[in-house]
Structures are given as C-alpha cells and as structure tokens.
C-alpha cells in the first residue's frame, strides 16, 4: 500500500533551537491519525512542513509520493485547517466556501450547507465579525466538505462548547465512513477524540516518542493504588511512568498490560488496579518533571 505521507530523518531548527529532531514515520491511506503532544513540542512545525509552509533543515518529506513544496498537484489534495485561520476582511462565510470549492476538487456543496446549518453559521456575515467559536465552525465546515485526500485539523474547535465539539466528531466519523481519506487531528483534548483515532503519533521535545495503533496503546499501561509500601513492592522491577502520593497511600502508573499475574499479585496485596486512559498515558510520557528512569521508551 502506497503511503500518503513518508517522513525520513526530518530535522528542523530555528537558529540554535531544534524544533524537530530525526523524525521518521509514514501515514497510510484511509486512517484517522492523532498528532499529540504538549504545546511547543513541534506539532505545528511538522504540519507546516507537510503542507510546504516551511522548509526542513534536513531530511525528506514525501506527500502522495512527491515533494510538497511548490507542487500544486500535491497541495491541491491537502486541506489544512489551522488553529488561527485567516481570511480576507471582505469575505463573508459564503465567500470562504466559494473559495474552497474552487480549490478542492472533491468539494461537496450540499454537505457544506448541511454543516453550516448544523453549526448555525450565518452565511452572509463577514468572517471578521464572527465569534471565535463560529470562526472555528467555518474551518470545520471547510475541512469536512473539502473531502481532501489528506485533511489536517490543528486544534479545530477553539471556542466551541461541548455540544458543538461532539457534533464535529459525529459528522467527521459519519462522513469518513462514507468517504474515506487520511485525516490528522492535532489536539490536546485527547480523551474526547480517542475513540476516533486509529493511530497515534506523539511528539515530545521535537522527537517522535510514540507511533502506534490506538488499540495497542489502550492496553499499554495500568495504575495500582493502595498503601505506599505495598505499591512500591508491587512496582519493583516494573516500568513506572508516574507516581502520585496522597496521605499514606500511593498511585503508580505502570507500563504493561495489567492482566493475568499482575492482577493476581495486586489482589493478594489488597491493591486496586485500573486502566490508564490514552490521555493519561500521553500526559505521563511527556511530563517534564519525571524522575530519572521514568517516561520515554
């Protein structure tokens, strides 16, 4: 299967600051990817490189098998919805849609109007007069109705309430099922989107620290809680990625399946064992205050 995106030995520096260091990955057709990490980790830099809005310091980027820079054939198949999307001051909402329809070959007007109604967008209002939530909704409509083979959403829902965000997730997964394409969601609301994501890429400090199927990650860690001495005895020799004391008790998050003999051992010690969510796992792996020997693999 041909990859939609291939990145090899990618590096990007701004002066003496390394924004990305030796990043390697590939994106397959027809998958929803989560691009996750803390603010400043390098996610936006990577998206700008994939969409030819910046140059790599070194390394190789192929999108649809070709270099994206100044390549209209490639760029016309990418829809990149930024966190702070800018439009001309004279544009109304319907002007944004008209411009998008002229750029994206798969644009669906019927779907766009349906989405605009869902998000209660006033088509004749100037974009610069929109609230932050409505501006995010405009980007969401463009991203979905473009049906671009590679669609990238960078924190697409700033200013949206929980109901509107849920509507975005529902419309995305419904249309993706009928019109498969490769989607990248860059977000900090990991728990909200975790059910949508099929594969996760995690960047921390400019390095790619996770590149795995979501189903595999969901079973990667578990937590045990109970008296501190018993938790420490249980955790000995295991890969602890987080500890949280409270009174005389402690909770420890541990890399591993947390099944079989681990559960039996925890039960004998009177410890509570529970799964670690995808968001908790990523938070623990990217914490800056981890003790030595914890965290990154």
Instruction: List, as one string, the DSSP characters of 112-181.
Output: HHHHHHHTT--TTSBGGGS-HHHHHHHHHHHHHHH--SEEEEESTTTT--HHHHHHHHHHHHHHHHHS--
Q: What per-residue confidence (pLDDT) applies to 291?
A: 44
CA-based end-to-end distance of the chain = 29
Kindly state whether residue 282 falls inside one of the protein's structural domains: no
Q: Check: CB of residue 149 under 8 Å from CB of residue 80.
A: no
Select from 87, 28, 23 the least CA-distant residue to 56: 23
Domain harbouring 57, CATH code: 3.40.50.300
3-state secondary structure of 265: helix
Burial of 6 (0-12, 13-18, 19+ CB in 10 A): middle
The verdict on 46 and 24 lying in the same domain is yes
The verdict on 162 and 38 lying in the same domain is yes
Q: What per-residue confidence (pLDDT) applies to 297?
A: 34
Q: How far apart are CA 274 and CA 229, in angstroms?
A: 19
The verdict on 249 and 170 lying in the same domain is no
Q: Specify the DSSP class assigned to residue 92.
A: B
The verdict on 230 and 103 lying in the same domain is no
Structural domains counted in the chain = 2
Place of tokens 């924004």: 19
pLDDT tens-digit map of 91-120: 999 999 999 999 999 999 999 999 999 999
Kindly state whether residue 289 falls inside one of the protein's structural domains: no
Scanning the chain, the segments in alpha helix (DSSP H) are: 43-50, 72-75, 93-103, 109-118, 132-146, 162-178, 190-193, 214-218, 228-235, 261-268, 278-285
What is the span of the domain harbouring residue 153? 5-217
Select from 51, 42, 70 the least CA-distant residue to 5: 51
The verdict on 168 and 231 lying in the same domain is no
Q: How far apart are CA 58 and CA 41, in angstroms?
A: 18
Q: Check: CB of residue 193 under 8 Å from CB of residue 169.
A: yes
Q: What per-residue confidence (pLDDT) applies to 141?
A: 97
Q: Check: CB of residue 36 under 8 Å from CB of residue 282.
A: yes
Which segments of the chain have a pLDDT < 50?
290-297
Cβ neighbors of 233 (< 8 A, separation 6 or more) are 269
Kindly state whether residue 29 falls inside one of the protein's structural domains: yes
Kindly state whether residue 281 falls inside one of the protein's structural domains: no
Kindly state whether residue 257 falls inside one of the protein's structural domains: yes
pLDDT tens-digit map of 261-291: 888 888 899 999 988 888 888 888 887 554 4
């Amino acid at each position: 299967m041909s990859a939609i995106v291939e990145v090899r030995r990618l590096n990007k520096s701004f002066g003496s600051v390394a924004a990305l260091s030796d990043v390697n990955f590939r994106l397959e057709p027809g998958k929803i990817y989560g691009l996750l990490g803390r603010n400043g980790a390098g996610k936006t830099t990577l998206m700008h490189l994939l969409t030819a809005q910046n140059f790599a310091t070194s390394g190789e980027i192929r999108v649809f098998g070709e270099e994206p820079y100044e390549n209209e054939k490639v760029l016309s198949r990418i829809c990149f919805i930024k966190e702070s999307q800018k439009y001309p001051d004279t544009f109304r909402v319907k002007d944004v849609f008209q411009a998008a329809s002229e750029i994206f070959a798969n644009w669906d007007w019927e779907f766009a109007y349906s989405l605009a109604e869902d998000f209660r967008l006033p088509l004749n209002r100037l974009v610069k007069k929109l609230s932050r939530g409505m501006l995010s909704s405009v980007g969401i409509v463009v991203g979905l109705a473009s049906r671009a083979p590679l669609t990238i959403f960078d924190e697409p829902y700033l200013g949206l309430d929980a109901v509107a965000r849920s509507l975005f997730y529902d419309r995305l997964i419904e249309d993706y099922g009928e019109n498969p394409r490769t989607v990248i969601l860059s977000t900090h609301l990991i728990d909200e989107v975790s059910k949508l994501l099929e594969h996760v890429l995690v960047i921390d400090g400019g390095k790619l620290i996770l590149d795995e199927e979501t189903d595999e990650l969901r079973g990667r860690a578990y937590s045990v809680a109970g008296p501190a001495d018993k938790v420490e005895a249980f955790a000995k020799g295991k890969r602890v990625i987080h500890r949280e004391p409270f009174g005389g008790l402690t909770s420890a998050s541990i890399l591993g399946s947390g099944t079989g003999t681990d559960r039996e051992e925890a039960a004998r010690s009177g410890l509570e064992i529970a799964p670690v969510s995808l968001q908790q796992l990523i938070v623990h792996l990217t914490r800056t205050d981890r003790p030595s020997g914890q965290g990154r693999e």
